Structure 1
């Protein structure tokens, strides 16, 4: 009886480890790149993991992994690419916010499920819901930078 229970627990453990590994492998390249820098501290003007990121520096770093060039600041990034309605967002689109009352002042990368990755001055690189209390009323616009080919590289879809 004990051998049977131990055997059954072993099988359950084996399948749970296998399913965890499969789900990690199923993550998109975009998700993997963002995951690798999660928690990197905020640094105004920062564009590298070793120094920290500001919001637009984080975007430059992630998009650089896909050979996509962008302007340096969030305000200028908000003029790049094509406008996207909030209801049509897809992973890899850029989302922009007015947090200081002087136009676009914060940006992030939409990652799906109503969430965006960004470098927050209080939390560093993190993922936040677009509908969160702070960002909900500060959303301004979104832009699609990635071509279809780049989008497929980012998402594997």
Structure 2
């Protein structure tokens, strides 16, 4: 019998396009912001649609929204025809903001991320963050904004299934690491509030916490039954095995220098523990499979 767990995901919401109303999987303000920022530094290329070799402004916004299940038209002018118009003083994170940079009509689009900041693929610096009211350039070229999706702070919860015969849970990561590191797992009075002394993960989780590998979430919880992302695992492995950078920095398009996991992923790659997923992508937000976890640990202990 397959072992599965119910994992919260966000309920569906409505978004608007020039063709009418469509359903999409809900996302939060944090989701859209983090997804947009994941590509900071990606190169610009007029007409380009490949994040590795270069994208133009509308290809970038189309890519970011597609990651959240939201469809956008291909060009900035076509995207300006989608959604509902939003006044500048009512902008919210995730709104599309449009500019006239060519002297005629809409010619540039970006994503508003709050505090008067927006992110876009620029001809001069690739994907970067700018001020929407920048007096030297963007401020005078602002055209308007459109809301094509409704984001939330947290989202409503419904059930979805994660198959832990395929994906590794945080608890299983703890068990395997504690065993490989030969840690003392006899202390089962866990300081994690969601790990009871009788849990099979208690000793391993506490042992790894003592050496600074696991610290818990914002509420101090370990979440043993939750999946772990490749970005999170890179941090865990680097700290568990005290890895250091070997040679030149390894860069992946989806883990730019500004990403919290950048140094951990680079260290892991420089030690030949991972080579990424191809197309210069690491898959930083992908859940870790059992197969990949075992492969990483095997390489680390050879």
Q: Say which structure is richer in helix.
A: 1
* Structural RMSD (CA): 1.4
**Structure 2: segments with no counterpart, 5+ residues:** 1-28, 156-302
Highest relative contact order (Cα 8 Å, sep 6+), 1 or 2?
1
Structure 1 length-normalised TM: 0.76
State the SS of the aligned residue for 1:117.
strand
Aligned to 1:138: 141
Change (3 A) 1:156 1:129: farther
| Structure 2 partner of 1:62 | 64
Q: Is the 8 A contact 2:45 2:53 kept in 1?
A: yes
Q: Which residue of 2 aligns with 1:121?
A: 123
> Residue by residue, what CA displacement relative to the aligned partner does 1:75-124 show, whole Å, maximum 9, x if unpaired?
11111000000000000000000011111000100000001000000000
User: Structure 1 segments of 4 or more deviating over 4 A?
Assistant: none
TM-score (norm 2): 0.40
**1:112-151 Cα shifts (integer Å, max 9, x gaps):** 00010000000000000011120000000100000x3xx1
SS of the counterpart of 1:44? coil
Aligned runs of 1:62-141 on 2, under 5 Å?
A: 62-132=64-134, 133-141=136-144
Unaligned runs of 5+ in 1: 1-26
Q: Is the 8 A contact 2:33 2:94 kept in 1?
A: no
Residue in structure 1 matched with residue 249 of structure 2 by the alignment: none
